[in-house]
Amino acid sequence: MDQNPLLTRLKSLKQWQGGKGYTIDSIRLAAENLGDPQEGFRTIHVTGTNGKGSTAAMIAAGLGSAGFKVGLFTSPHLSTMNERFCIDGTPLSDAQLEAVLESIVEKIGESFFDLSFFEACTIVGFQSFWMEQVDFGVIEVGLGGTLDATNVIKCPELAVITSISLDHENVLGNTEEAIARDKCGIIKPGTSVFVGQVRREIRDLIEAEAQKRQARNVSFFSPKDLFSSQLRGEYQALNSGLARSCLRGLGVSEPAIERGFASVVWPGRMEEVRGFSRPITFECAHNIDGIRKSCRALGSVLESEPTIAFGVLETKQWREMLGELLELSRDFLLLEPDSSRSLPQNELQSWLTGNGVSFRAFGRDYSRFITDEIEGSDSSKPLVLIGSIYLVGAIRGLLGLPFGPLWQREHV
CATH code for position 256: 3.40.1190.10
State the Cα–Cα distance between residues 406 and 163, nearest whole angstrom. 23
221-259 pLDDT tens trace: 988 888 888 888 888 999 999 999 999 999 999 999 999
The answer to whether residue 408 sits within a structural domain is no
pLDDT along the chain (412 residues), means of 10: 82 79 92 98 97 96 98 96 97 96 96 96 99 99 94 98 77 82 97 96 97 97 84 89 97 96 94 95 92 93 94 88 95 93 91 95 97 93 96 96 88 64
pLDDT at 2: 55
Last residue of a domain, one of 229, 263, 297: 263
State the Cα–Cα distance between residues 260 and 60, nearest whole angstrom. 8
State the Cα–Cα distance between residues 218 and 94, nearest whole angstrom. 40
Last residue of a domain, one of 263, 280, 311: 263
35 and 79: one domain? Answer: yes
pLDDT at 170: 58
Please name which of 95, 96, 56, 94 lies closest in space to residue 73, comparing C-alpha atoms.
Answer: 56
State the Cα–Cα distance between residues 217 and 211, nearest whole angstrom. 8
Q: Is the peptide bond before 255 cis (omega within 30 degrees of 0)?
A: no
Per DSSP, which regions of 57-120 are E strands?
A: 70-73, 85-87, 90-91
70 and 197: one domain? Answer: yes
The answer to whether residue 252 sits within a structural domain is yes
253 and 296: one domain? Answer: no
State the Cα–Cα distance between residues 375 and 383, nearest whole angstrom. 12
348-379 pLDDT tens trace: 999 999 999 999 999 999 999 999 999 999 88
3-state secondary structure of 100: helix
289 and 247: one domain? Answer: no
The answer to whether residue 197 sits within a structural domain is yes
User: How many domains does the chain fold into?
Assistant: 2
The answer to whether residue 403 sits within a structural domain is no
335 and 259: one domain? Answer: no
293 and 253: one domain? Answer: no
243 and 293: one domain? Answer: no
List the alpha helices (DSSP H) in 264-407: 288-301, 318-325, 345-354, 366-369, 389-398
- Enter the pTM of the model: 0.94
Q: Are 312 and 362 in contact (CB under 8 A)?
A: no
275 and 248: one domain? Answer: no
295 and 379: one domain? Answer: yes
The answer to whether residue 355 sits within a structural domain is yes
Task: Give the domain range for residue 314.
Answer: 271-398
The answer to whether residue 411 sits within a structural domain is no
Phi, psi dihedrals of residue 200, rounded to the nearest 5°: -55, -45
Which helix (H) or strand (E) is 384 found in, with range? strand 383-387
The answer to whether residue 84 sits within a structural domain is yes
pLDDT at 230: 82
75-117 pLDDT tens trace: 999 999 999 999 999 999 999 999 999 999 999 999 999 999 9
pLDDT at 224: 82
Last residue of a domain, one of 219, 234, 263: 263
278 and 133: one domain? Answer: no
State the Cα–Cα distance between residues 363 and 333, nearest whole angstrom. 9
The answer to whether residue 407 sits within a structural domain is no
182 and 205: one domain? Answer: yes
242 and 280: one domain? Answer: no
Residue 235, C-beta contacts closer than 8 angstroms, at least 6 positions apart: 50, 51, 293, 294, 296, 297
CATH no. for residue 361?
3.90.190.20
State the Cα–Cα distance between residues 397 and 407, nearest whole angstrom. 20
Question: How far does Cα 272 stand from its chain's mean position?
Answer: 18
